[in-house]
């Protein structure tokens, strides 16, 4: 692959940058996640092209977690290689995040929310990614057995040590999130951001979480806004072998796809009337929620990424369109 020179026009206005809650940090409206398509089971040069294209398009935020792969850890390792090859001169232009919470190693300290696990995991993540600090460090899921003060205390320590610039939480329900925000604030490391799942097929955050985020001035980055590809034309004519639902390592179940197909077709009709692809409309719809700072997509090809960035051309919905969407 030829050497990489970042596109000098990458900040020319194609990308929108939104302030994250009441913090000083801006995030691109579209961020790129490395959950799928960056593991050792994937084609390295394809992953590298996706990352280059993202950065050239003004996507300054890459989202990882300790367990992304497969195998777990390999997405961070591959990112670390790409970082050295292509991005090390751009470290100050990048917001790199990682997380700890899911199973990462054997024994009693390899998952959930103890201080032991969270801080050891961050050390490993930094090693794998060849960086000295992450910009955002998340607790990936609430732990029912560890006091919240301990898990949040570990995030605060990471920030105090300079190994993370900001703290975040992910998958926390509204009440737990509110508690976490209070604790982090008391510790002097206010929570920057919450990362919940949100799409036309899963609107749970509207039942309380967004109010809590607005009240506390915490930003919101929504993951799986395409419902892992269901809100695209990927599955309208069956399940392709090379799709996430068709591949053995993918997290999307065929049964889920079948279950949602009727709704997806109805959304596709609305998108057509708006002159957008279904994927563009699904992403634009998440961004139309005023609490949402950034929407966090995945892509298995440069072409998908290119198509999805088109959503930024129209993120406004008429009352009539909203009514039709809500009716589905
Ligand atoms: N905090 C958490 O617990 C959590 C959980 C999940 C995800 N995340 C984060 O969110 C990121 C995004 O999640 P996600 O990958 O599920 O997001 P997504 O954007 O909903 O789904 C991405 C997938 O949809 C398909 N796709 C995307 N654009 C397409 C297009 N234009 N046409 C057809 N198919 C298209 C591709 O799958 P195929 O081509 O392979 O079919 C792609 O990999 C992750 O990488 C991770 O960073 C966080």
pLDDT of residue 250: 86
Rg (CA), the chain: 19
pLDDT of residue 140: 98
226 CA distance to ligand 1 middle (Å): 7
Residue for token digits 């979480």? 209
pLDDT of residue 248: 87
pLDDT in tens, 281-325: 999 999 999 999 999 999 999 999 999 999 999 999 999 999 999
187 CA distance to ligand 1 middle (Å): 34
Beta bridge partners of residue 223, listed in sequence order: 197, 296
228 CA distance to ligand 1 middle (Å): 4
Indicate which atom in ligand 1 lies nearest the CA of residue 101: 3
How far are the Cα atoms of 73, 155, 175, 298 from residue 70, in angstroms, in the given order? 7, 25, 32, 15
Residue to probe by mutation, ligand 1, list 64, 65, 223, 292, most atoms within 8 Å of CB: 223
Indicate which atom in ligand 1 lies nearest the CA of residue 301: 39
Residue to probe by mutation, ligand 1, list 50, 220, 229, 276, most atoms within 8 Å of CB: 229
Integer Cα distance of 40 and 124 in angstroms: 17
Answer whether residue 16 shows pLDDT above 90: yes
Integer Cα distance of 115 and 34 in angstroms: 25
pTM passes above 0.85: yes
As a whole number, mean pLDDT of residues 18-28 equals 98
Q: Is 168 in the pocket of ligand 1 (CB under 6 A)?
A: no
pLDDT in tens, 154-173: 999 999 999 999 999 999 99
Indicate which atom in ligand 1 lies nearest the CA of residue 252: 16
Task: Determine the 3-state secondary structure of 105 from DSSP.
Answer: coil
Q: Quick one: which of 41, 56, 45 has its CA closest to 9?
A: 56
pLDDT in tens, 210-226: 999 999 999 999 999 99
As a whole number, mean pLDDT of residues 63-92 equals 98
pLDDT in tens, 237-271: 999 999 999 998 889 999 999 999 999 999 999 99
Report which protein residue has its CA nearest ligand 1's atom 29.
Answer: 304
Q: Which CATH number fits domain 17-235+282-316: 3.20.20.100, 3.40.1160.10, 3.40.50.1820, 3.30.950.10?
A: 3.20.20.100
pLDDT of residue 322: 97
Answer whether residue 87 shows pLDDT above 90: yes
């Amino acid at each position: 692959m030829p050497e990489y020179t970042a596109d000098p026009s990458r900040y020319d206005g194609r990308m929108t940058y939104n302030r994250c809650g009441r913090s000083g940090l801006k995030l691109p409206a579209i961020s790129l996640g490395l959950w799928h398509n960056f593991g050792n089971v994937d084609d390295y040069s394809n992953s590298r092209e996706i990352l280059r294209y993202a950065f050239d398009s003004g996507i300054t935020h890459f989202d990882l977690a300790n367990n992304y792969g497969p195998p777990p850890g390999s997405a961070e390792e591959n990112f670390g290689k790409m970082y050295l090859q292509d991005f090390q001169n751009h470290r100050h232009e990048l917001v790199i995040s990682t997380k700890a919470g899911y199973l990462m190693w054997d024994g009693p300290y390899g998952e959930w929310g103890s201080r032991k696990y969270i801080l050891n995991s961050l050390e490993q993540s930094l090693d794998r990614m060849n960086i000295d600090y992450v910009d955002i460090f998340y607790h990936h899921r609430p732990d029912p057995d560890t006091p919240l003060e301990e898990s949040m205390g570990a995030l605060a320590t990471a920030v105090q040590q300079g190994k993370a610039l900001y703290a975040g939480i992910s998958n926390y329900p509204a009440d737990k999130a509110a508690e976490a925000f209070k604790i982090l604030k008391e510790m002097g490391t206010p929570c920057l951001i919450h990362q919940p799942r949100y799409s036309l097929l899963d609107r749970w955050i509207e039942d309380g979480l967004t109010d809590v985020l607005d009240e506390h001035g915490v930003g919101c980055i929504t993951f799986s806004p395409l419902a892992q590809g269901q809100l695209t034309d990927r599955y309208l004519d069956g399940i392709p072998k090379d799709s996430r639902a068709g591949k053995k390592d993918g997290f999307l179940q065929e049964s889920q796809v079948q279950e949602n197909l009727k709704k997806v077709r109805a959304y596709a009709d609305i998108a057509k009337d708006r002159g957008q692809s279904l994927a563009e409309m699904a992403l634009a719809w998440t961004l139309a929620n005023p609490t949402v700072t950034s929407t966090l997509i995945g892509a298995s090809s440069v072409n998908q990424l290119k198509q999805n960035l088109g959503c930024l051309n129209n993120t406004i919905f008429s009352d009539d369109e909203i009514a039709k969407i809500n009716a589905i």
